Structure 1
Amino acid sequence: MTIQLPDSAGELRAYEPRATPLALDAGAPLASRVVFSAAHVVADPFADTSPDGPAAVDWDATLAFRRHLWSHGLGVAEAMDTAQRGMGLDWAGAAELIKRSAAEARAVGGRIACGVGTDQLTAVPKDLAEVRSAYEEQLALVEGTGAQAILMASRALAAVARGPEDYLDVYGHLLRQAAEPVVLHWLGPMFDPALDGYWGSADLDAATETFLEVIAEHPDKVDGIKVSLLDARREVELRRRLPKGVRCYTGDDFNYPELIAGDARGFSHALLGIFDPLGPLAAHAVRVLDQGDTDGFRALLDPTVELSRHLFQAPTRFYKTGVVFLAWLAGHQDHFAMVGGLQSSRSLPHFAKAYELADGLGLFPDPGLAEARMKQLLALYGVTR
C-alpha cells in the first residue's frame, strides 16, 4: 500500500509506509545523563475559543502524555515553550498546568521541572521592580508544588533592561530567594524574536560573559543551564567554563546527539523539545550510552536529526505545530487541534515530510493508524487519491 504525499514543489509522489514500529519498552532508570522532555499540551477541541482568548486544555490527554514520558524514564520539563508558553498558553493556563502536572509527578514518582517567567505581565512593565515581582510570583508557585524551577528568559525583562547590570540585578535577586537550585534558560531569538539581545547584548560573546557572571556569583543556587542557541560550538565552549557541579542541559535541537555524547572534556545533559516525539527512542539511546556504548547511542540518535531539523526549521518558534502533529499521528491524542489555532502554522508539504521522516524512524506505535490519519489530513487539503 502506498500514500500520495506532496513534496516542496507541490507535486504528489507515492510513499510506502513501513509496516512495523520500533519495539521500545520501558527499561531501567537513566543513569549517565539527566534527560528532560519539554512536553506539549493537548487542546480541548470542543471548546468555543478564539486565537487570542484563554487556552482550553484537555487535561486528561495532557497528563496522559506526561505519564507516557515518565514511563520511559524521562523527566518532564513543564510549561516551557513546547507547551506553547507565550504562544497560546497564558499564565493562568500555565499555572494550572504546573499544579496539575506536579501533582501527577508526585503520584507516579516522575521527575519534573517547571518554567518560571513573567508572562502574567500583558504590557511592557514600567521598571525592573515589576519584572522581579512577576518572577517572584511564579517562582513561589512552582516551588510550592515541589517542582524544580527553570528560570525562563523574560520578554518583559528584555523590553526594559538597559544593559547587563539589569540582568545581574534581577537574576541575582531571584537566585538569592530560590529555595533550591534552579535551571537557568537561555532561549535564543530564533525561538522567540522578542528575546534578541538577551543578557544585555546582541553580541553573543558579550552576552555569554554576563550569563557566566550570574552563575559565578550564585553557583550554589544553579543546578544547571539550558542553552537553546542552535550553536554546538558555543554550547561546548560555554559548558567547559561552568563552575564544578553546574550542569549544561542542551536545548540544541539541531546537534543534540553529539552534545549529549560529549567528548573527553565533558558532555551535556538534555532538556529538549524534540524529545517529545522521540521520547521512547531517546530514552533507549541513553540507556545504551549508560552502558558505555557511545557508537550505539549515536547510531540510534543520529538518524533522528533530519526529522528534528525539519520540525525546527525557520521560523523555528513554530516547531510546536510539528510536535503536536506527530503526537496525533502516534495516537497520543484524538485530534490535531492546538491552543491558539497554531495547527495552521505549517504547510501541508511540511506535514507530509514530517510524517515520512517519523514513519521511516519507526516512531509510530501503530503505523496503520498514522497512515490513516495522514490520509485524513490529505483529504482535508483536497488530496483524494
Structure 2
Amino acid sequence: MTAPGTPASSGPGAAPRAAHPPTRSRTVFAAAHVVADPYADTGPDGPAALDWDATLAFRHHLWAQGLGVAEAMDTAQRGAGLDWTAAAELIRRTGAEARAAGGLLSCGAGTDQLPAHGATLDQVRAAYEEQLTVVEDAGARPVLLASRQLAAAATGPDDYQELYGHLLRQTARPAILHWLGPLFDPALTGYWGGTDPDAATATLLRIIAAHPDRVDGVKVSLLDADREVRLRRMLPPGVRCYTGDDFHYPELIAGDTHGHSDALLGIFDPLARRAADALRHLDTPGPRGAAAFRAALDPTVALSRHLFRAPTRHYRTGIVLLAWLAGHQSHFTMVGGLQSARSLPHLRRAHQLADALGLFPDPERAAARMRALLAVHGGQDG
C-alpha cells in the first residue's frame, strides 16, 4: 500500500490510457467508491485509512472504459466514514492520476470539515471555499455538494441563493450543483429552503438563472423520474441535467424528443463496462441506437434497485461487495466498518443479480468469495 505522501503517479499513474473513447452524445461520470486499508488500526470514529494503490487503480479502470470519474462524492463515503482530511488527499491524488491518464474528473466540494451542528452561514461559506480551492488546484470540475450544515443553518431560500451565488461568482470553472434527496441523506430534508419540492425547484432555477455561465449542470438524486424530467426541461440552454437516479437511469439517459439527461451515478461503479458499452449505442442517432442502449442497460435496473433500496444511504455496502467479488480489491472491508450495514441475505442477492448480468470477470472466484463470506458469518455456503 502506498505510504502517505507518496506521489500517486509512482504507482497507478503508470496505467495505460483509456482503452475506449468516451461516448460523444452524453457526458457521464461514475461516482467511485474508496478501498479501505483492512490492516489499519482505526475504529468507526477514527480517521479514514485507505489502500491508495487499490483506490486509484479503480479510477483507472473507470477511465479505461471511457467514463469520467466523480471523486469524493457520497459513493466514496463522504459523511459516512471518509473525513475531509482523507477526502482532500483523495482529490489531490486522483487529480494527479487524471492528468496522467487524460481522464475526465469532477470532485465534490462540501462543508464536512465543520461540526455536524451549530455552524453559521459564514462558516459554511468559508468551508465551501476551502474545499473548492483543493478541487480546483487538482484541475477538476467542482461539484458543490449538498451541505448538511447549510441545511441546518439556512432560514429560507434567500440564504441558499446568496451563498450559492457567492460561490459561483468565484469558481475558476463552471460547477455542478448537487441536489441529493432525503432518501440518500435525511439531514438534507428541506434543501433549497423548504420541504415543498416545487418551491425547492424554483429556488434552484433562480440560482442557475442568475449565473447560467457558471453552472455546468445539476446532479439530481431524487429517485423521482418525472420531477427530473420537468426540471431538465426548465434548465437554460447549455446547462446539463446529470441524473443521479439509480432507479430510472436508462430512460432518463435515453431521453425523449425534448432532451435527455447526462449522468453522474453510483451504480456505474459496478456497471462500468456494461454501462460504457451501452452508452456507445447512443452515438448512433435515432431510435435504433436508443433501442440498443435500452436493451443493454434495462436489465441492470433490478440490481441497482436492490443495492439502493431503503435505507438508500447504505447502497455503498453492495457497491464495495461487488468490487471485491469482481476482483478490484482483495477484501470486503469498508471505511467505518460499513461492510456490516447490509444483511447477509441482501449481499447474497446482490451477488446473484450481478452474476446473472455477467458482471464478474471470474465468476468462479466471485462465487468462492461469496461462499467464504457467508461461511465466516455463519450463513449457508451453498
1:157 aligns with 2:125: no
Choose 223-232 or 288-297, whichever is displaced more: 288-297
CA apart distance, 1:166 = 0.4
Q: Please state whether the residue corresponding to 1:150 is helix, strand or coil.
A: strand
* Residues 1:288 and 1:219: Cα distance change in structure 2 (over 3 Å): same
1:65 aligns with 2:27: no
Residue in structure 1 matched with residue 7 of structure 2 by the alignment: none
| Structure 1: gaps (5+ residues) | 1-24
Tell me if the contact between 2:98 and 2:104 (Cα under 8 Å) persists in the aligned partners: yes
Tell me the amino acid that sits aligned with residue 342 of structure 1: L
What's the Cα RMSD here?
1.0
User: Matches of 1:72 and 1:121 in 2, distance apart?
Assistant: 36
1:130 aligns with 2:123: yes
Q: Please state whether the residue corresponding to 1:290 is helix, strand or coil.
A: coil
After TM superposition, the structure 1 = structure 2 runs for residues 104-123 of structure 1, keeping only pairs within 5 Å, are 104-123=97-116
1:208 aligns with 2:201: yes
User: Matches of 1:244 and 1:88 in 2, distance apart?
Assistant: 38
1:318 aligns with 2:314: yes
User: Matches of 1:275 and 1:381 in 2, distance apart?
Assistant: 29
1:360 aligns with 2:356: yes
Corresponding residue to 2:268 among 243, 265, 275: 275
Q: Please state whether the residue corresponding to 2:280 is helix, strand or coil.
A: helix
User: Matches of 2:355 and 2:139 in 1, distance apart?
Assistant: 38
Tell me if the contact between 1:26 and 1:280 (Cα under 8 Å) persists in the aligned partners: no
Residue in structure 2 matched with residue 338 of structure 1 by the alignment: 334
1:199 aligns with 2:199: no
Deviations 1:219-247 (A, max 9, x none): 00000000000000000000100001000
1:83 aligns with 2:79: no
Residue in structure 2 matched with residue 184 of structure 1 by the alignment: 177
Deviations 1:148-200 (A, max 9, x none): 10000000000110000000011000001111100000000000010000000
How many percent identity over aligned positions?
Answer: 70
User: Matches of 1:299 and 1:305 in 2, distance apart?
Assistant: 11
CA apart distance, 1:381 = 2.3
* Residues 1:31 and 1:164: Cα distance change in structure 2 (over 3 Å): same
User: Matches of 2:381 and 2:174 in 1, distance apart?
Assistant: 54
Higher relative contact order (CA 8 A, sep 6+): 1
Tell me if the contact between 2:252 and 2:260 (Cα under 8 Å) persists in the aligned partners: yes
Corresponding residue to 1:99 among 79, 85, 92: 92
Choose 196-205 or 289-298, whichever is displaced more: 289-298
User: Matches of 1:69 and 1:117 in 2, distance apart?
Assistant: 24
User: Matches of 2:281 and 2:136 in 1, distance apart?
Assistant: 33
Residue in structure 2 matched with residue 379 of structure 1 by the alignment: 375
| Structure 2: gaps (5+ residues) | 1-17
Tell me the amino acid that sits aligned with residue 226 of structure 1: K
User: Matches of 2:307 and 2:110 in 1, distance apart?
Assistant: 25
CA apart distance, 1:26 = 4.2
User: Matches of 2:346 and 2:19 in 1, distance apart?
Assistant: 31
* Residues 1:161 and 1:276: Cα distance change in structure 2 (over 3 Å): same
Residue in structure 1 matched with residue 10 of structure 2 by the alignment: none
Q: Please state whether the residue corresponding to 2:108 is helix, strand or coil.
A: strand
Tell me if the contact between 2:30 and 2:268 (Cα under 8 Å) persists in the aligned partners: yes
Tell me if the contact between 1:125 and 1:131 (Cα under 8 Å) persists in the aligned partners: no
Q: Please state whether the residue corresponding to 1:226 is helix, strand or coil.
A: strand
Tell me if the contact between 1:28 and 1:287 (Cα under 8 Å) persists in the aligned partners: no
Residue in structure 1 matched with residue 210 of structure 2 by the alignment: 217
Q: Please state whether the residue corresponding to 1:212 is helix, strand or coil.
A: helix
Query: What is the aligned residue count?
Result: 361
Tell me the amino acid that sits aligned with residue 269 of structure 2: D
1:305 aligns with 2:301: yes
User: Matches of 1:335 and 1:291 in 2, distance apart?
Assistant: 40
Q: Please state whether the residue corresponding to 1:363 is helix, strand or coil.
A: coil
User: Matches of 2:119 and 2:339 in 1, distance apart?
Assistant: 35
Q: Please state whether the residue corresponding to 2:282 is helix, strand or coil.
A: helix
CA apart distance, 1:289 = 1.4
Q: Please state whether the residue corresponding to 2:234 is helix, strand or coil.
A: coil
CA apart distance, 1:144 = 1.0
